[in-house]
Chain A
């Protein structure tokens, strides 16, 4: 396992160097600044998506889930829209935007974990309900956002748009440091919770008998998942299936239940995927496709093939 993770680490190091130095046309410092920031954002997104997906899958004991399906990114968009709508964009822009950023991420995490917490109760398996509610919330939140955006003053809408539509091509780097802080803090909390996660892997009944305060831990984990996912989508927009793809690959590469290794390997694999994807988009396809499309396509294919493979096994 150490060998595998070590070679993953080496691979990502190579990818970083290749990405930073290929086709810079001599203008190295410019390319470095531009691509370095992007790499930093990739690293953060890799951490956030792999940590949150492993945690969600472990606590729900379902290998098909991904936090992106819970509608958290749409919730973030809605919160931004609502704050623009009721406070007014000009006033908001004149204020300190960092506090706004932090507040909306916090609001996303709180509201998201409240919503998820309501639908995910420990009596019986309400996972189905949780998923349905998440998917509905996604569509509903985006409808509400569109509603308010249509009502909005066009000038304010322009500003809002500039703020909202983050993607891998258009990473929001202005709050990179704060986002880095939040993601590192959240993932650090998860690192401290690794022993609990390892036990939760056995199922909530066993965990209770092994002395884990399951309801409390579940709520804490949900909050952390919402926090990580919200921050990641504030940086690069929705990445619905990234977590799913990464986790599926990681379980293939390092078949273990120890979350320390899983977190480490998953982050490296996510990072590798993102850097390679971006490299291909930039250098091979010449910006004719987006990383999101690639992830979406791959994620769907992975999902279906996983279904078929599991079926054959069982």
Chain B
């Protein structure tokens, strides 16, 4: 029986080390496996025995692109464990720094990593020859996000100003004023970006996802809310382990997550958007409709539009928060450790980032569990690949390969922050 193997040694524009195996037999896709062989980093184990105050700075190191997500999930878990409540302007500043992370992360992905797929370029540098203005705008957006991170976090990558209870130092209004000017320009760019990406050619694919995201009574979610799905999940974040499980599969060093009762689910922009469309400001809803989106989008390729919509939202929200800002009297609320479990769940750019810690009475971590977004999406990525490849199994290998790579990039997967390597093998029997 003839077997055809097509191999791509480097898929640049994906974070981490992985490979994809696609098996085609009898004109059908029989298996689609995203093999992740990135070495495990054992963060949960190395957190044991460390003090609660060290936690935000340690977990920030998990990801260079979304350190705020890890810091925010950790500080909320610590505060929940110790019965502390962050409110008012300190709470607003946390939303503000998260806006910065969404802007820089989404801008990087939409313009530098994902857009070239739709326009037929091998990378952003090639794309820049014909679409220089778009790439310049992407850089400007990313810079604005970084600026927010720097002003609030002390630096753009692995910020150092976040602590349990608030911040080490809060900004003055004068420090935020120039950021607001950048955000106004970024907002204009982001609106134009939505209109631009909406014109891209999109493969005709709809998937029946179980979307999972936070839902807050009156906000598009960053840090708080109940964990909900479009099926029947509506739980406190502390009940995550009753509905969801992680299991080891032989072909991945990253644990696969599933809804215990059903299987694969989806986190990230498509899920957030579908479950929280009514929480977006009317102006952003109108822009989404103008871009051809309904209140739910099930086409994974159109996630690029939803990411652009979320950049617009993050700019608007950041401008609102800065306009309303008055420096709080204290940079952080007091923290009194006690022996207790604590749970945190926040919306990283790629989806929910769930943390559970068990602290002793001095605030030392006894156990830690961290569930990042990309591991939760692995089964959905594999199901997408099978669905994407099914109608094109008879096409040449490079056509299948290109479409599969694009499909993986729909997720902006953050397999790790250390390398980019993805081998694709198509086995035809």
- On whether the two chains bind one another, the answer is no
